[in-house]
Amino acid sequence: MKPSRAPRRPVIGVTVSRRSAWRIFPLIRLNLALAGARALRWIDRDEVDLSAVDGVVIGGGDDIAPTLYGGELRAEVVLDHDRDRMEAGVIEAARARGLPVLGICRGAQMLNVVLGGTLHQNAFEVFASRRYRTILPRRRVSIRPGTRLADIAGTRPMKVNALHSQAVASLGEGLKISARDEAGMPQALESTAAPFALGVQWHPEHLIYARRQRRLFRALVHAAAARTTGADQMAQVDRMPDSLRDLRERIGGR
């Protein structure tokens, strides 16, 4: 009797900035590996094949060009038009195919823009939020009960990092806010219907030691597994580490 083959791990396409891919992609790849998936890197002019993946991460990086949502261009912003075009196409195609999407910082904003929403170019001119520029968890956010984010991470206030300058203004079609900071600035959004789409304004890839942050990647991988081979693949995801002790054991720590 032939031994049964292990279920195929979901493949997740990850968009990253050409400038920061060398340090950001390995972090996202590690988070996805711990959640039971393989990562495939996409950078602005790369050929993107959505048929090769089961889900998508839209990573963080530069501001989004205001021309995409009817805003005025400011001289001080750093833009990447090639990446804007690539990610807009990836999100549109992923939604059409029913692929789950996780947006990180810029990725959450891009999800909103592609679905018809707008952004505050400088959110700190609008909200009385304290500005942080660190990967350490300094911002406190409140999660709205009854949301997908609450199902994933619970409703207890969460400490997150904050490196962004833009934030959601008007919401895109089929989206709702699922977390805000203490000044009311949107910090997470999600789709109100299938397929899975969740965007967080912070960078969970830097917070790998935090169980609730790892669960964001697991939720994406679980949605990708559910879309493809079903129960066997989801069972593999469910066996991924959730406690810090399990995480240390998996990556060889003590």
Q: What is the pLDDT of residue 231?
A: 45
Regarding pTM above 0.75, the answer is yes
Burial of 51 (0-12, 13-18, 19+ CB in 10 A): exposed
Question: Given this model, what pLDDT does residue 253 score?
Answer: 42
Percent of the chain with pLDDT over 90: 70
**pLDDT for residue 133:** 84
Burial (0-12, 13-18, 19+ Cβ within 10 Å), 169: middle
11-247: CATH, from 3.40.50.720, 3.40.50.880, 3.40.50.970, 3.40.50.300: 3.40.50.880
* Rounded distance between C-alpha atoms, residue 242 and residue 215, angstroms: 8
- Average confidence score pLDDT of the chain: 88
Residue 210 has pLDDT above 70, yes or no: yes
Find out whether 219 and 240 touch, Cβ atoms under 8 Å: no
Q: Are 159 and 139 in contact (CB under 8 A)?
A: yes
Strand pairing report for 38-43 and 11-16: parallel
Mean pLDDT of 156-175: 95
Question: What is the band of 35 on the pLDDT scale with cuts at 50, 70, 90?
Answer: very high
pLDDT number for residue 252: 47
* pLDDT category of residue 7 using cuts at 50, 70 and 90: confident
* Whether the predicted pLDDT of 3 surpasses 80: no
Q: What is the pLDDT of residue 216?
A: 98
Distance CA 102, CA 190 (A): 9
Active site residues: 105, 203, 205
% pLDDT > 70, the chain: 86
Q: How far apart are CA 18 and CA 25, in angstroms?
A: 10
